[in-house]
Amino acid sequence: MKLWKQDFTLEGLANMSANTLVDAFDITFIEMGDDYIIAEMPVNHKNVQPMRILHGGASVALAETVGSIASVLCLKDPLSYHPVGLDINANHLRSVPEGGKVFAKVSPIHIGRKTHVWHIDITDENDKLVCVSRLTIIILKTRK
Residues with catalytic function = 64
* Contact criterion met (CB below 8 Å) for 59 and 67: no
Q: Distance between alpha carbon 71 and the CA centroid of its chain, in Å?
A: 10
- The three-state secondary structure class of 46 is coil
Query: Rg of the chain over CA atoms, in angstroms?
Result: 15
- No. of helices (H) and no. of strands (E), the chain: 3, 6
Measure the CA–CA gap between 70 and 134, rounded to whole angstroms.
13
